[in-house]
Amino acid sequence: MATLAVGAIGVVYGDIGTSPLYALKEVFVGSSHVPVTESNVMGVLSLVFWALFAVVALKYVIFMMRADNRGEGGIMALMALSLRHLDAQPKLRWTLISVGLLGASLFYGDGIITPAISVLSAVEGIELVTPVLKPYVIPVTIAVLVILFLFQYKGTAKVGAFFGPIMCLWFLVIAIIGVNNILTKPGVLAALDPRYALEFLSHSKWQAFVALGAIVLTLTGAEALYADMGHFGKDPIRLAWIRFVFPALTLNYLGQGALLLQNPKAVDNPFFLSAPAWALLPMVVLATVATVIASQAVISGTYSLTRQAIQLGYCPRMLVSHTSEAEIGQIYLPWINWALLAAVVGSVIAFGSSSNLAAAYGIAVTGTMLATTILAFFVVRNSWHWGLVPSVLLITSFLTVDLAFFGSNLLKIREGGWFPLVIGAVVFVVLSTWRRGRELLWQRLAPGAIDLEPFLRSIADHPPLRVPGTAIFLTAGQAGVPHALLHNLNHNKVLHERIVLLTVRTGDIPHVPAEQRIEIKPLGANFFRLTVHFGFKDEPDLPRSLELAQAAGMEFSLMETSFFLSRQTLVATENPGMALWREKLFVAMSRNAASATGFFRIPTNRVVELGTRIEL
């Protein structure tokens, strides 16, 4: 348990653990411009503490971690969970899919902003060492980020063991610095009284509402608690939060508040100025390392989210490289990596400072939180079978907090909040277009399909020449004859001795046990229906899965087996279905998607591709 808790501290809490670098500063220096008075400082500290308690502890650590999809969390897993029992309600089902895709799309914005703001805020500490170094902040930040992304292909397997101890040191150091400042102003501990928060909200009203847009920065990374649940389990994550992370964050925020009560001028950078002068440079180094770790966690999360989207049919196939022989979750997606690097470096150059990036950060975080809460309602009602009244009361309480934070961040759209919204909109269009395009493709294929049963009867009545070996035809549907089979029979006038119609099914669960992976059904005339089941976090390796067929009574020799695939040439048209520009986008994505051969790990020398032209 202790080992897993340390690992959780290194991976799960990296993002929220580096929030003290910039969060409190943005409340008083950022767009909210809260005056540094004793009542305001005490009120803000109280809000920070109770926001951490309500959102992180109550919502995520206690409630959301119960909404696991066979041990896995994250918004894609939650969306799959919420869609169960809704097959008879297509409109509601599509609405929930849209909510889930919006939340996932905003997570990509989070994946861009987190590395940028975290590393930039850490490197900005060198300005306090000497102002002469200020011109080097942006170049050093970009250099650190480029190195981070360049080494992504090696994976986190080799360095992951160091993440936990380093982040433990980070939390220990910021807690000690916080205690050191609290001892000079012990009265700051009174901020734990929620009446200070209520007084600040009631007296400041509009200014307090605006300040929520900065206070939410203390909650960044809360989604990681839920998303990384499958890596460590509930208990280690909960243990790490309750006994170590939450106390350390609380002590540091209180310590920064104590410093501001004594020296309001320290508001320019209360985190680094709360450390002793001799410790400033070591703190900059430690903070940079901690932010790199926090960035790594978000980047890895983006890879995992993308793979889940691919498996669930919301994203084109991409090349997925596994960086660890032991951990299936450690993966690397080259296209996503370089796209993220370009976006992160571009955002650092465009925004120029952590304060400017802070304005863009909140919307991505609160938007994903809001989507999570909405999806959770349907899990509570349909899967947990709670009554309507308790379900509404609980979710409404969470929604009230989420909407308050989200509404406050909407005020910062002109200052930078537009950035994650644009990123989210682009990703949403891509994901929804791919999903809709695949549905439209099957609709176009359906009228020309030949029913399987009459086809098999005709084969039995008028058998063509059969040649030795096995032919596997990959097909998405199970009703009609695969186009590749018809083309092969039409052009080559022969059939293999054994014909296997193979369909890959990805379920709404993370993993499918090996004993449930293969399903075989004889169809007659030495034809077989083979269904291979994967979970949305399983590796879609068909040759390895075919080895499991032997236990079910069907043995495959790859040297005597040929895989037949249909290569579809898509053409955008004015036909009803999707807007022309979306059809063109879908066609472009289809052309650039990874081949089924590489995605399913099929040996290239055993593959035959037969083309067909389809007008959308």
Q: Is residue 444 part of a domain?
A: no
* Residue pLDDT, tens place only, 13-43: 888 999 999 889 889 987 667 889 999 999 9
Quick one: 415 and 460 in the same domain?
Answer: no
Contact criterion met (CB below 8 Å) for 494 and 465: yes
- Of the listed ranges 103-117, 249-263, 443-457, 482-496, the least confidently predicted one is 443-457
Answering whether pTM is above 0.95, one says no
Q: Which CATH number covers residue 76?
A: 1.20.1740.10
**Residue 171 and residue 287 share a domain:** yes
Residues 173 and 297 reside in one and the same domain: yes
Phi-psi region of 512 (alpha: psi -120 to 50; beta: other; left: phi over 0): beta
**Does residue 157 register a pLDDT over 60?**
no
CA distances for 346 relative to 116, 139, 342, 361, angstroms: 9, 12, 6, 15
User: End of a domain among 371, 406, 436?
Assistant: 436
Q: Note the Cα 105 to chain centre separation in Å.
A: 9
Please determine, for residue 325, whether its predicted confidence score (pLDDT) is greater than 60.
Answer: no
For residue 317, give the DSSP letter.
-
- In this structure, are residues 385 and 329 in contact, taking their beta carbons and an 8 Å threshold? no
Residue 442 lies in a domain: no
**Greater pLDDT, 119 or 6:** 119
Final residue of a structural domain among 408, 436, 464: 436
Is pLDDT of 299 > 90? no
> Structure tokens of 42?
């005490």
pLDDT at 55: 94
Give the C-alpha separation, 239 to 242, whole Å: 5
C-alpha 189 chain-centroid distance: 36
Note whether residue 443 is domain-resident. Answer: no
Q: Each residue of 408-444: pLDDT tens digit?
A: 988 888 888 888 889 999 999 999 999 999 888 888 8
533: DSSP letter: E
Domain identity same for 430 and 457: no
Q: 233 and 203: one domain?
A: yes
Q: Which amino acid is at 437?
A: G
Confidence class of residue 453 from pLDDT cuts 50, 70 and 90?
Answer: confident
For the ranges 252-256, 346-350, 446-450, the one whose mean pLDDT is highest: 252-256
Interatomic CA distance for residues 65 and 236, integer angstroms = 12
261, 404: one domain: yes
Residue 141 tokens, joined: 């930040």
The reply to whether 26 falls in a domain is yes
75 lies in some domain = yes
With CA atoms as reference, report the closest residue to 127 among 5, 287, 250, 263: 287
Nearest by Cα to 449 from 493, 485, 413: 485
Count of domains for the chain: 2
- Is the domain of 383 the same as that of 455? no
Q: Are residues 339 and 199 in the same domain?
A: yes
Together in a domain, 596 and 527: yes
The domain in which residue 529 lies consists of: 450-615
- Do 412 and 465 fall within a single domain? no
**What is the torsional sign of CA 597, 602, 604, 606?**
negative
Neighbours of 255 (CB within 10 A): 28
Please tell me the predicted confidence (pLDDT) of residue 445. Answer: 74
In a domain, 527, yes or no: yes
**What are the phi and psi torsion angles at 314 (to 5°)?**
-110, 0
DSSP letter for each residue of 269-288:
SHHHHTS-GGGHHHHHHHHH
Confidence of residue 122 (pLDDT cuts 50, 70, 90): confident
Q: Quick one: pLDDT at residue 57? A: 93
Handedness of CA 507, 509, 510, 511 (dihedral sign): negative
What is the per-residue pLDDT for 224? 77
| The pLDDT value given to residue 327 | 52
pLDDT of residue 538: 82
For residue 441, tell me if it sits in a domain: no
Mean pLDDT value of segment 560-564: 89
Predicted local distance difference test score (pLDDT) of residue 263: 92
Average pLDDT over residues 245-255: 96
Average pLDDT of the residues of the chain: 86
Q: Which residues pair with 529 in a beta bridge?
A: 501, 521
Beta strand pairing call for 465-474 and 494-506: parallel
Cβ proximity of 254 and 182 under 8 Å: yes
Residues 554 and 423 both lie in one domain? no
Of 226 and 243, the one with more pLDDT: 243
Averaged over 303-315, what is the pLDDT? 85
Residue 541 pLDDT greater than 70, yes or no: yes
SS3 assignment, position 89: coil
Look at 395 and 445; give whichever has higher pLDDT.
395
Task: Tell me which range, 160-164, 290-294, 467-471, 548-552, is most confidently predicted by mean pLDDT.
Answer: 467-471
Query: For position 407, what pLDDT does the model report?
Result: 92
For 340-372, the pLDDT digits (tens) are 999 999 999 998 888 888 878 888 889 999 999
**Per-residue H/E/C for 341-399:** HHHHHHHHHHHCCHHHHHHHHHHHHHHHHHHHHHHHHHHHHHHCCCCHHHHHHHHHHHH
Identify the CA nearest to 186 among candidates 262, 273, 265, 266: 262
Q: Using alpha carbons only, how large is the chain's radius of gyration in Å?
A: 27
- In a domain, residue 445? The reply is no
- Side by side, the strands of the sheet bearing 527-534 are 518-524, 527-534, 494-506, 465-474, 561-571, 607-615
State the pLDDT confidence band at 323, using cuts at 50, 70 and 90. low
- My answer on whether 392 and 299 are in the same domain is yes
Angle at which helix 38-51 crosses helix 206-215, to 10 degrees, equals 50
Low-confidence winner among 178-187, 238-247, 597-606 (lowest mean pLDDT): 597-606
- Residue 418 vs residue 153, higher pLDDT: 418
Q: Give residue-wise pLDDT tens across range 159-183.
A: 555 678 888 999 999 999 999 999 9
Per-residue pLDDT tens over the stretch 328-342? 556 788 888 999 999
Q: Both tokens of residue 72?
A: 């896995």
**CA–CA distance, 67 with 344 (Å, rounded to integer):** 32
Which residue among 414, 436, 458 closes a domain?
Answer: 436
Q: Which among 328, 242, 226, 232 is positioned nearest to 57, based on CA atoms?
A: 242
Task: Average the pLDDT over 128-152 and give the result.
Answer: 85
Residue 45 clears pLDDT 90, i.e. is over it? yes
Q: Is 500 in contact with 471 (CB distance < 8 Å)?
A: yes
